[in-house]
Structures are given as C-alpha cells and as structure tokens.
Homo-oligomer: A and B are copies of this chain.
Amino acid sequence: MTPATSLFTPVEADLRILADNLKQLVENRHPKLFAAAEYLFGTGGKRIRPAIVLLISRATMLEQDITPRHRRLAEITEMIHTASLVHDDVVDESDMRRGVPTVHSLFGNRIAILAGDFLFAQSSWYLANLDNLEVVKLLSEVIMDLATGEIQQGMNRFHINVSIEDYLEKSYYKTASLIANSSKAAALLSEVSQETADHLYNYGRHFGIAFQIVDDILDFTSTTDTLGKPAGSDLKSGNLTAPVLFALEEKPYLEALIERQFAQQGDLEQALALVQDSQGIQRARELAAYHTKLASEHLCDLSPSESHQALINIANYTLGRLY
C-alpha cells in the first residue's frame, strides 16, 4: 500500500466496490470501449476524487451507513474525471500519463474520442438518475468548467502576460471545480445544512487548487521516472504554471525564451534553470500551503471522526509530496 492510499483507510472497502462498479458500468455495452475503459480505470489512478467524495459522505453520515447514491456520486466523479483526461490527452497530444501510454496513443484517436464521449454521456445519465436537481446542477457545472479550463489553457499557451489570478482561475476550472462541487454534492446527499455544504465546497476548492499547484511544482522538481511523463513538459508545451509565473517577475530573460517558444537549441534547458534559480518554486510552495490551510479550516462544521481526520491528512499529505 502506498502512503497515498493508506490515507484512504476509512473508505478502503468503498473504493474496492467503486473500482468493480466502474468497470461493470462500461462493460455492459461495448467490448472495445470496455478494453479502453478497463485500461483507464485500471491504471495507476490514485482515485483521490472518489476517495474525497466517500470520505465526506462518511464524515457527514457518521453513525449511519452511506447510501447507494453517495457511492454512485463517487463513481460519477471518477467517470467525469476520466472522460476529461482521455480527451485532454488527445487535445494535448500526450503520449504518456502516470507512466503508461495514453488511451489515444494505444487505441487511436477514434476510440479515445468515443470513450470520452461515452463516459461523459454515461455520467450525465447516472447523474440525472440520482433524482436530485441541485446535485445535477453542481456536476453539470463541473463538466462545463472542465471544457472551459482546457480551452483557457490551450488559448494561453506561451502567453507571458498570464497572471497568477488567471492561473488560479484555470486551475479552478480544470481541477478544483470537480473536487469542490462533488464534495458539496456528497454533503447535500447527506442532507446537511446549506452552510455546511458550502464549507465543504470550499474545502474541495482550496484543496483542489493546492493539489494543482503541487502537481505543477512537481513537474519542475521531480524526475521523469517519478512523474510517469517527461519532466518539464508543462513549460515545454507553453503551459505556464505558478513556478514560472513567479519566476518571470525576477528573470526577464525568461520572457524572451518563452515568447520564441524555445525555438533555439538549449532554450528549454536554460528556461528550466532560470526557474530553479528563482524564488518561483518556493513561492508556489507557499501558495499551495496557504490553500491547504484554508481547505482544512473549512472542515470546521464536521464532528470528529476517522473520515474527518482523513480529509485533513489528505490535504497535508498532498503538500508533503513536495518535501
């Protein structure tokens, strides 16, 4: 068991049920898609999104067991996340993710687009059948945010005028919206007060932003081996994340390298060195720590429980990956 998954102890059994269900939900209809789906749901995903949904479900239901709807919501969350990954990999032409080839590089663009469409469609359908209009609205907002975030990221490639606020907005759309809205939805299924639901939305929002910042820092500080994709690949593709945006304030030459899209030999290496030599990574760490702290503070409404503690530990563990 990796340190990440041992954090999920209170919902470990739930996550095993989820893994089986996810495969079965796709299996029923489409053998070829099933191969892609099994591959998708089988490979290395940390399942952090459904784990948070399940932990919030347990932390808000306390003595009572969680309901089939809580479980279904966790599955929908993972389906939406997976669908967006598959399409993002086609759009970004990424060949590797989590150390394994991406769906489109293995099965082709056709299957990748169809598999993504099918997962989005299936999640909309399961969502409607949760019979809770507010939950439908929250999660359909997420699907819209994911598309918006991917479009913004695409349009801002190599734009040195992107601000930290733009970056945080894009990170909300691409990462935090799903965690925030599914956290709130889980709370609503437990029939908590609107105020508690909003706190849990904000837990998810701050946690999601911290999670994205940490991921973006690791792209600079980790090895290709640990990342499961080439290190420095965000910068290379013009996706300017927190460490670079901070570094740009200190290192004007970075602008020139980015603006010519690393066209000359050694440009990318020089840019990576400039980021390392700046306060960029340190400042990004502080930003992640700030959002992690805010996330934990929004758990204030929850009674003490193993699941409550796990939600705090996950936020801290995420930050701890940097050290």
> Are B150 and A114 closer than 8 Å at their CB atoms?
yes
Interface bits A116-153 vs B (CB < 8 Å: 1, else 0): 11101110110111010100110011011011101100
> Are A128 and B121 closer than 8 Å at their CB atoms?
no
> Are B118 and A128 closer than 8 Å at their CB atoms?
no
Given contact pairs A109-B109, A125-B137, A133-B133, enumerate 18 new A-B contacts (beta carbons under 8 Å). Answer: A29-B148, A29-B151, A30-B151, A32-B151, A91-B114, A110-B154, A116-B117, A117-B147, A118-B147, A118-B148, A120-B120, A120-B143, A121-B144, A125-B141, A128-B133, A128-B140, A129-B137, A131-B133
Task: Verify if A113 is at the interface (C-beta below 8 Å from B).
Answer: yes
Task: Verify if A33 is at the interface (C-beta below 8 Å from B).
Answer: yes
Residue of B nearest to A120 (CB): B120
> Are B140 and A125 closer than 8 Å at their CB atoms?
yes
Interface bits A155-177 vs B (CB < 8 Å: 1, else 0): 10000000000000000000000
Name A114's contact: one of B117, B118, B154 (CB within 8 Å). B154
Chain B residues lying within 8 Å of A90, measured Cβ to Cβ, are 109, 113
> Are B91 and A32 closer than 8 Å at their CB atoms?
no
Expressed in whole angstroms, the Cα–Cα distance for A30 and B147 within the complex equals 11
Chain B residues lying within 8 Å of A58, measured Cβ to Cβ, are none
User: Can you list 28 residue pairs at the A/B interface with Cβ under 8 Å?
Assistant: A30-B148, A30-B151, A32-B151, A87-B113, A90-B113, A91-B109, A91-B113, A110-B154, A113-B113, A114-B147, A117-B146, A117-B150, A118-B151, A121-B140, A121-B144, A121-B147, A124-B124, A124-B140, A124-B143, A125-B137, A125-B140, A125-B143, A125-B144, A127-B140, A128-B136, A128-B137, A129-B137, A136-B136
Chain B residues lying within 8 Å of A151, measured Cβ to Cβ, are 29-30, 32-33, 114, 118
Chain B residues lying within 8 Å of A144, measured Cβ to Cβ, are 118, 121-122, 124-125
Chain B residues lying within 8 Å of A140, measured Cβ to Cβ, are 121, 124-125, 127-128
What total of chain A residues lie within 8 Å of the partner, measured CB to CB?
37
Expressed in whole angstroms, the Cα–Cα distance for A120 and B125 within the complex equals 13
Chain B residues lying within 8 Å of A128, measured Cβ to Cβ, are 133, 136-137, 140
Expressed in whole angstroms, the Cα–Cα distance for A97 and B279 within the complex equals 53
Chain B residues lying within 8 Å of A116, measured Cβ to Cβ, are 117
Q: How near does chain B come to A76, taking the closest CB pair, in angstroms?
A: 12
A-B pairs with lowest CB-CB distance, top 6: A124-B140, A121-B144, A118-B147, A121-B143, A128-B140, A121-B147
Expressed in whole angstroms, the Cα–Cα distance for A299 and B154 within the complex equals 48
Residue of B nearest to A134 (CB): B128
Chain B residues lying within 8 Å of A113, measured Cβ to Cβ, are 87, 90-91, 113
Chain B residues lying within 8 Å of A30, measured Cβ to Cβ, are 148, 151, 155
Q: How near does chain B come to A105, taking the closest CB pair, in angstroms?
A: 14
Expressed in whole angstroms, the Cα–Cα distance for A250 and B125 within the complex equals 42
> Are B124 and A155 closer than 8 Å at their CB atoms?
no
Q: How near does chain B come to A110, taking the closest CB pair, in angstroms?
A: 5
Q: How near does chain B come to A239, taking the closest CB pair, in angstroms?
A: 14
